[in-house]
A and B are shown apart, each in its own frame.
Chain A
Amino acid sequence: MLNLFITLFAITLFYFSISERFRTYSVLIAVQGILLFGLAFLELKQVNIANFIFIAAETLVFKTFVVPVLLYRIISRTGVYKVHTRAFPSFYILIFTMVGLLVSIILSNVLHAPNVDSVYLAIALFTLFTGVILIVTHKRIFSHMVGFLVIENAVFMFSLAVGSEMPILINVAILLDIFVSVLIIGVMINRVGEHYSDLESENLTRLKH
Chain B
Amino acid sequence: MILIYFISALLISVAIVVLRKRGIVRVLASLFILLQVLLTVYAFSHRGETDLKYFTYDHLGVLFLLLLTAVGTLSVYHGFIYFRYREAGRFCYYHAALVGLIASISGAYLANDVTVVWILVEATTLTASVLIYHEKTRTALEATWKYLFLCSTGIAFAYMGILFLSLSLKGSDLHGLSFGTLATLASSANPLYLKIAFIFVFIGYSTKMELFPMHTVGIDANSVAPSPIGALFSSALVNLGFLSIFRMYKALSGSPIYEWMNHILILSGLLSILVAGGYMLKAKYPKRMLAYSSLEMMGLVAIGIGIGGVGPYAALLLVVVHTLVKSSLFFQMGQVNRVLKTLKLDESGRYMNLNPAGALVLLLGMSAILAVPPSGLFVGEYLIFKQMVASQQWLILALVMILLCCVIYGMATRVLHLLFSGPYVQRDEWIPGRVRWTENIGQMIFLALAFLICFYQPPFLVELIRGGIAGIGG
Residue B290 interfacial (CB < 8 Å)? no
Between A135, A145, A158, A207, the greatest number of chain B beta carbons within 10 A of the residue's beta carbon is seen for A207
Please name the 4 residue pairs, one residue from A and one from B, whose CB atoms are nearest each other, closest first.
Answer: A167-B175, A169-B115, A207-B220, A209-B284
Residue A71 interfacial (CB < 8 Å)? no
Residue A179 interfacial (CB < 8 Å)? yes
Contacting pair B115 A173 (CB below 8 A)? yes
Within 8 Å by CB of A183, from B129, B141, B159, B288, lies B129
Contacting pair A115 B119 (CB below 8 A)? no
Interface majority SS on B: helix, strand, loop or mixed?
A: helix
Residue B47 interfacial (CB < 8 Å)? no
Interface residues of B (CB under 8 A from A): 113, 115-116, 118-119, 122-123, 125-126, 129, 133, 138-139, 141-146, 148-149, 152-153, 156-157, 159-160, 163, 166-167, 170-171, 173-175, 192-193, 196, 220, 223-224, 279, 282-285, 288
Identity of the chain B residue whose Cβ is nearest the Cβ of A184 in the assembled complex: B148
Contacting pair A206 B138 (CB below 8 A)? yes
Q: Which residues of A contact B283 (CB under 8 A)?
A: 209
Contacting pair A116 B167 (CB below 8 A)? yes
Residue A102 interfacial (CB < 8 Å)? no
Which of A132-171 touch B at CB < 8 Å?
135, 141, 144-145, 148, 151-152, 154-155, 158-159, 162-163, 165, 167-170
Q: Which residues of B contact A167 (CB under 8 A)?
A: 173-175
* 22 A-B contact pairs sorted by A residue (CB < 8 Å): A114-B171, A115-B167, A135-B153, A151-B153, A152-B156, A158-B163, A159-B163, A168-B175, A169-B175, A176-B122, A177-B122, A179-B126, A180-B122, A180-B125, A188-B145, A192-B145, A206-B139, A206-B142, A207-B143, A207-B224, A209-B282, A209-B284
Q: Which residues of B contact A162 (CB under 8 A)?
A: 163, 166-167, 174
Within 8 Å by CB of A176, from B119, B170, B224, lies B119
Q: Which residues of B contact A183 (CB under 8 A)?
A: 126, 129, 148
Q: Measured between C-beta atoms, what is the minimum distance from B147 to chain A in Å?
A: 10
Between A115, A145, A169, A181, the greatest number of chain B beta carbons within 10 A of the residue's beta carbon is seen for A169
Identity of the chain A residue whose Cβ is nearest the Cβ of B279 in the assembled complex: A209
Within 8 Å by CB of B145, from A169, A173, A181, A204, lies A204
| Given A155-B156, A183-B148, A170 and B193 contact (CB-CB distance below 8 Å) | no
Q: Which residues of B contact A195 (CB under 8 A)?
A: 138, 141
Within 8 Å by CB of A155, from B133, B143, B159, B284, lies B159
Q: Which residues of A contact B196 (CB under 8 A)?
A: 111
Q: Which residues of A contact B157 (CB under 8 A)?
A: 151
Q: Measured between C-beta atoms, what is the minimum distance from A42 to chain B in Å?
A: 19
A168-199 vs B: 1/0 string, CB under 8 Å?
A: 11101100110111011001100110010000
Within 8 Å by CB of A173, from B119, B173, B192, lies B119
Q: Which residues of A contact B113 (CB under 8 A)?
A: 169
Q: Which residues of B contact A176 (CB under 8 A)?
A: 119, 122-123, 126
Q: Measured between C-beta atoms, what is the minimum distance from B139 to chain A in Å?
A: 5
Contacting pair A145 B149 (CB below 8 A)? yes
Q: Which residues of B contact A187 (CB under 8 A)?
A: 129, 141, 144-145, 148
Within 8 Å by CB of B166, from A128, A145, A163, A204, lies A163
Between B153, B285, B288, the greatest number of chain A beta carbons within 10 A of the residue's beta carbon is seen for B153
Q: Measured between C-beta atoms, what is the minimum distance from B130 to chain A in Å?
A: 9
Q: Measured between C-beta atoms, what is the minimum distance from B437 to chain A in Å?
A: 32
Q: Measured between C-beta atoms, what is the minimum distance from A183 to chain B in Å?
A: 7
Contacting pair B119 A172 (CB below 8 A)? yes
Contacting pair A113 B138 (CB below 8 A)? no
Within 8 Å by CB of B122, from A110, A144, A173, A188, lies A173
Q: Which residues of A contact B159 (CB under 8 A)?
A: 155, 173
Contacting pair A209 B160 (CB below 8 A)? no
Bound together, the chains give a CA A162 to CA B115 distance in angstroms of: 14
Bound together, the chains give a CA A116 to CA B173 distance in angstroms of: 14
Contacting pair B115 A207 (CB below 8 A)? no
Q: Measured between C-beta atoms, what is the minimum distance from B413 to chain A in Å?
A: 15
Q: Measured between C-beta atoms, what is the minimum distance from A136 to chain B in Å?
A: 11
Contacting pair A204 B142 (CB below 8 A)? yes
Q: Measured between C-beta atoms, what is the minimum distance from A85 to chain B in Å?
A: 18
Q: Measured between C-beta atoms, what is the minimum distance from A91 to chain B in Å?
A: 26
Contacting pair B285 A180 (CB below 8 A)? no
Q: Which residues of B contact A177 (CB under 8 A)?
A: 122, 156
Identity of the chain B residue whose Cβ is nearest the Cβ of A207 in the assembled complex: B220
| Given A151-B156, A152-B156, A195-B138, A169 and B116 contact (CB-CB distance below 8 Å) | yes
Known pairs A155-B163, A167-B173 / 4 extra A-B pairs, C-beta < 8 Å: A111-B196, A115-B170, A183-B126, A209-B282
Identity of the chain A residue whose Cβ is nearest the Cβ of B159 in the assembled complex: A155
Between A151, A158, A192, A209, the greatest number of chain B beta carbons within 10 A of the residue's beta carbon is seen for A209
Within 8 Å by CB of B192, from A110, A159, A172, A192, lies A110
Contacting pair B279 A184 (CB below 8 A)? no
Bound together, the chains give a CA A192 to CA B163 distance in angstroms of: 33
Contacting pair A204 B170 (CB below 8 A)? no
Contacting pair A148 B119 (CB below 8 A)? no
Bound together, the chains give a CA A167 to CA B156 distance in angstroms of: 18
Q: Which residues of A contact B167 (CB under 8 A)?
A: 111, 113, 115-116, 162
Q: Which residues of B contact A154 (CB under 8 A)?
A: 156, 160
Bound together, the chains give a CA A38 to CA B283 distance in angstroms of: 52
Q: Which residues of B contact A163 (CB under 8 A)?
A: 166, 173-174
Contacting pair A158 B122 (CB below 8 A)? no
Contacting pair A180 B141 (CB below 8 A)? no
Contacting pair B138 A148 (CB below 8 A)? no
